[in-house]
Amino acid sequence: MAKQTVFISADHGLAIVYFLQSDVVPTLLDAGVEVVILTDDGLKEQIEQRFGREGLHIEGLRLGEARKYYDTVSPTQQWWLNFLRRVGSSNRINTEAMDSHIRQVDAEAVGKRKLLMPFMKVAISILRRSKTARQWLVRQQYAFSPDLYTDLFEKYQPSLVLASTPGWRYDRYLLRQAARRGVKTAAVVVGWDNPSSYSLPGAPMDWITCWSEEQKRELILGSDWEAERVHVGGIPSYDGYFRREWLMDRDEYFKLHNLDPNRKLLGYACSFITFSPNYQNVEAIARLVAEDKLSQPSQLLVRLHPNHFMDEPLFAGEREKIRQLAREVPNVHVVEPVPLGGSLGYYSGEDMPEKTSMMAYSDVFLTVYSTMVVEAAIHERPILAVCIDAPGGWNTPGRFDLPLTEIGNWPTHQRFRQAGAGRVATNATQLQQAINLYLEQPTVDLEACRKFIRDEVTYTDAQAGKRTGQFILSCLEKSQGSGQ
């Protein structure tokens, strides 16, 4: 293969883990491919210092310019196109997650957006039933294709542009420009729920690699991908879990958080806070711990969600309530995600040892159907989805929220439940019973948990990064064969 160059859009902290803290990029570099990582402009030096090696180049993704274009060039039209793209999947797949987003937009709409919403619901109904309509919508998006990266295309002459989504984020502008220049495009699926939550491509795409046959089915049936363009490669971000390469020593980890080595550890990862408070879950678990209502002496470690650090008073308020609870209630502790910096925020790989150790050493792992149920299952921990409704939700006029008892049929949530990979608690009594069951019989759901992992991530051999890298190399070969 002649010397070729790949652009990789890493516009999210999880994408940094996927591409750079796995074997994906090293596999490309070892094959002699030049790799250009496009990421947050403020992080170029930091990423260069940590991951730099011959053949790897770091450039800015110009997210500020992309946002400005989105906000100033027909912003209303772009917003509606993006909304319809996100929720316009075929109804041949489970659309519960997208339907909740529609409900949110409808409930929070004001002004002209409120007036247009009934017409958009009709449009969504058509999109759900018509492949022709979906293809038309996808084409309409391409009218918005600014030349933000012309100098980079001319400097590096890439043969392939790879992104962590098929144009679902601001990466759509890079991918659209690539397609207009005749450069092949590919995407990876970084998130467990992505194919069932974000729907149609936002740019012309040639290939995509995903975690599992289930995700492939969602892409084909929901978003009209051709089967031969969808590759199942597993999830490179989790290779480190299978290798246990991030795991801290147990004594060291317990000392880090002032945990009692003689008490059972309940690890709770906040989740779903965009739609619902988590405080009622945390408080219910803390009460069981503090009042010794569990079968064995226990302690609670709460991991705050990255969204708790957004510029959002509701989320920040819950963050402070959880911190205050930990100060007042014995045997309750808090751990906070570590920010990567720049616009990539608190979704980062900076604390993979922390995440790994929390899951590995939790005697029971609890959350609200977070992707961390998959990660905890890899560590073969008992898993409990805590779905206690918050009275009144966020209790904020104009703010949409969802009762946690109503989200069990979201696609990934449903698969977790149907697999029997863990239990679900919707009230304090069920919570107490489920925790006690797992404290007394920690392996009761282990075989179902292992099957769940095989179904959801496909490959458990810690080779997903190399496998995905090889897939990208095959895309380069096809690009070369087509004259790119």
Q: Nearest to residue 184, comparing CAs of 163, 165, 206, 164?
A: 206
Residue 361 pLDDT > 70, yes or no? yes
Average pLDDT of the chain, as a whole number: 95
**Cα(329)–Cα(287) distance, integer angstroms:** 8
Task: Please name every residue paired with 335 in a beta bridge, in sequence order, or none if there are none.
Answer: 303
**Cα(358)–Cα(376) distance, integer angstroms:** 9
Question: Which two tokens mark 470?
Answer: 């090889």
CATH topology of domain 5-67+143-234+462-481: Rossmann fold (3.40.50)
Tell me, yes or no, if the two domains 5-67+143-234+462-481 and 245-457 fold the same way: yes
Q: Write down the residue that tokens 């090889």 correspond to.
A: 470
For 284-329, write each residue's pLDDT tens digit. Answer: 999 999 999 999 999 999 999 999 999 999 999 999 999 999 999 9
For 402-456, write each residue's pLDDT tens digit. Answer: 999 999 999 999 999 999 999 999 999 999 999 999 999 999 999 999 999 999 9
Helix or strand (DSSP H, E) at 48: helix 44-51
Residue 164 pLDDT > 70, yes or no? yes
pLDDT of residue 200: 98
Other residues' Cβ atoms within 10 Å of the Cβ of residue 379: 21
For 471-482, write each residue's pLDDT tens digit. Answer: 999 999 998 865
Specify whether the CB–CB gap between 223 and 416 falls below 8 A. no
Strands 184-188 and 34-39, sheet pairing: unpaired
Specify whether the CB–CB gap between 239 and 463 falls below 8 A. yes
Q: Nearest to residue 194, comparing CAs of 239, 163, 240?
A: 163
| CATH 3.40.50.2000 is right for the domain spanning 245-457 | yes
Give the mean model confidence (pLDDT) for residues 144-170.
97
Domain locations along the chain:
5-67+143-234+462-481, 87-139, 245-457
Query: pLDDT-based confidence at 2, cuts 50/70/90?
Result: low
For 49-86, write each residue's pLDDT tens digit. Answer: 999 999 999 999 999 999 999 999 999 999 999 999 99
Q: Strand 5-9: give its sheet, edge to edge.
A: 56-60, 34-39, 5-9, 160-163, 184-188, 207-210, 230-232
**Cα(386)–Cα(388) distance, integer angstroms:** 6
pLDDT of residue 480: 80
